[in-house]
Structure 1
Amino acid sequence: MSAGKSAEKSNVAVIGLGSMGFGMASSLVRRGHAVVGYDPSATAAERLVASGARIAESPSEAVANASVVLCVVVNSAQTDAVLFGDGGVFPVMPPGSVFISSATMAPSEAKRLSSRLAEREILYLDAPISGGAAKAANGALTIMASGSPNAFARARHVLDAVAAKVYRLGDEPGIGASVKMINQHLAGIHIAAACEAMVLASKLGLDLSTVYEVITASAGNSWMFENRVPHILDGDYRPLSSVEIFVKDLGILQDMARAERYPVPLAAAALQMYLATSGAGMGHDDAASVARTYAKLSGASLPTAKAAS
């Protein structure tokens, strides 16, 4: 379903102010919500203050007056630390408040966290996100969410502010996480395939800009090809999503598939390329850096970054 446009306003804590969390917090501010943010990075915190939000010194301080907590961290371990670590929010959140978890994690972890929060009658919404930093900044994300009807009802005005589409996938935490892993399965393969194809094009002596133009108008195109190949063309590997993200996510996928006794050979091959790229020192660069690994293996030439004028 598409997100509606609720006029309700509330106090919202946003934990994690990376490219996605910062954009989501800024969207909430624009929609008139009172936002308090927390991030261990002082730079991220200063940026959020400039957008009109307040900054807390710890997660627990951030949620002191919040009815909704939006947690935008990398994985289940970081989410667990936000909830139960030093300065964590679990002892502070009142019964009936909502914890929206947007980290990509295994469905079993989403279920575990939800169960622990239920001990204090805190509502949990399993709500991973997709769309990238630009859509986060514009309040136009896609959210794949599952949780109780009560959690959805109490969080709807926050979801409306940060998303163009909110898919309500079921009442049980873990469903949203499962759907996100299917998305990451495809995204990881598509990026690796785009890199493999473009480096082959270089080996064949083709003009890469022309190949990009042709493929984006042809059946071989994908959203990831169109979105990430410009990194290769520009020799600019500043991250939209890093190599390490796909090392993590395709690793989770492998574990899930193994538990189901289900083969995922394409994802396994893509994971090996992300691991090789990370091992070569490019883990925190954009996932399109897989192209550089292919280039090193094959002796192909790729465009280099343009000098700043």
Structure 2
Amino acid sequence: MAASAVADRSGGVAVLGLGSMGHGMATSMMRAGLSVVGFDPYPASLQRFVSDGGRAALDAETAARDANAVVSVVVNASQTEALLFGAGGVAEAMPEGAVFVSCATMDPEIVRHLSARLEAAGRHYLDAPMSGGPVKAASGELTVMASGSKAAFAAARPVLDAIAAKVYELGDAPGAGAAFKMINQLLAGVHIAAACEAIAFAARQGLDLRQVYDVITASAGNSWMFENRIPHVLDGDYAPKSAVEIFVKDLGIVQDMARAQRFPVPVSAAALQMFLAASGAGMGHDDDASLARLYAQLSGAVLPEPVSPSA
């Protein structure tokens, strides 16, 4: 990385995590005129951001030091906690009154624990999981399910305006946004599993799969996930737009939450088993439409030949 591309100070917004989602969000913020600095522990992600005109920090702590908003686009609760309070964490580096915008999907109880700890130190925490995938992140049209104090929303407003087409304000305490996101993930995981089951079942019967897609997307059995994911199967393209492991994690969180509340979730439990099986079969980092490949392996159904290298 060229020395001129490295920023020592973050300006207005620090984006921590520049993978497929964080990169798109950061570039959307730059288009909106925000002063953005990014950090990612993976050099390739950082270099991509710099190549697209972004400013890079040497580490997360440096990025957060002068940021009015720190946007965390990491994978899970443990990464979020480490980013905030681990070695080189940003909680103490953030200016007092700055907001930590947490976008990871996690158990609401963990959100409440992390937010209480950060807010006790004079910083704000906005619980802001999102939906829409890399395409919507890059276009600034995400759906954000957010909860937090009025001060947290006010501090995060320029970020939210830049990255989202729709911001749902779901309460004045962190944790509500996470709970809404888990309902979404329950449905998303079940719908992906159902879509893959249906298309593999159609293949087992020897049906024309593109015709199946045309008929179902015009019929009552359609879902957003069927319409979005089944073209991946028809094209044999399992390059990860949303990986199997995401739903291993998220449906696992659903099971943990439901067990703690003694609430039955048998349909999502069955879907989780299929994601686990796909991961165990070596497809964990492939697109989540790979569940169709798993069904095909189990049944002898013939799907279009995979074209992506990982498949």
**TM-score past 0.5 threshold:** yes
**Whole-Å separation in 2 of the counterparts to 1:86 and 1:34:** 26
Match of 2:212 in 1: 211
For 1:132, the aligned partner's letter is: G
Match of 1:98 in 2: 99
For 1:223, the aligned partner's letter is: W
User: Aligned pairs, how many?
Assistant: 299
Match of 2:148 in 1: 147
Structure 1 vs Structure 2 CA RMSD = 1.2
Match of 2:66 in 1: 65
8 Å CA contact retained: 1:29, 1:51: no
Moved more, 251-260 or 85-94: 85-94
**Whole-Å separation in 1 of the counterparts to 2:120 and 2:153:** 19
Match of 1:186 in 2: 187
Match of 2:33 in 1: 32
User: Could you say what secondary structure the match of 2:126 adopts?
Assistant: strand
**Whole-Å separation in 2 of the counterparts to 1:49 and 1:87:** 22
User: Could you say what secondary structure the match of 1:13 adopts?
Assistant: strand
Alignment map for 1:1-309 (pairs within 5 Å): 11-306=12-307
1:24-72 deviation per Cα after TM superposition (whole angstroms, max 9, x unaligned): 0000011111111010111111111122221112110111221100000
User: Could you say what secondary structure the match of 2:15 adopts?
Assistant: strand
Moved more, 110-119 or 180-189: 110-119
User: Could you say what secondary structure the match of 1:96 adopts?
Assistant: coil
**Whole-Å separation in 2 of the counterparts to 1:153 and 1:33:** 15
Question: Percent of aligned pairs with the same residue?
Answer: 64
Structure 1 residue runs of 5 or longer lacking an equivalent are 1-9
1:84-142 deviation per Cα after TM superposition (whole angstroms, max 9, x unaligned): 12221012112100000000000001101101101211000000000010000000000
Match of 1:3 in 2: none
**Whole-Å separation in 1 of the counterparts to 2:146 and 2:115:** 13
Shift of 1:307: 9.1
8 Å CA contact retained: 1:34, 1:53: no
8 Å CA contact retained: 2:239, 2:308: no
**Whole-Å separation in 2 of the counterparts to 1:251 and 1:307:** 27
1:164-207 deviation per Cα after TM superposition (whole angstroms, max 9, x unaligned): 00000000110000000000000000000000000000011100
**Whole-Å separation in 1 of the counterparts to 2:35 and 2:47:** 17
**Whole-Å separation in 1 of the counterparts to 2:241 and 2:266:** 25
Structure 2 residue runs of 5 or longer lacking an equivalent are 1-10
For 1:271, the aligned partner's letter is: L
For 1:45, the aligned partner's letter is: L
**Whole-Å separation in 1 of the counterparts to 2:167 and 2:205:** 43
User: Could you say what secondary structure the match of 1:165 adopts?
Assistant: strand
**Whole-Å separation in 2 of the counterparts to 1:195 and 1:85:** 40
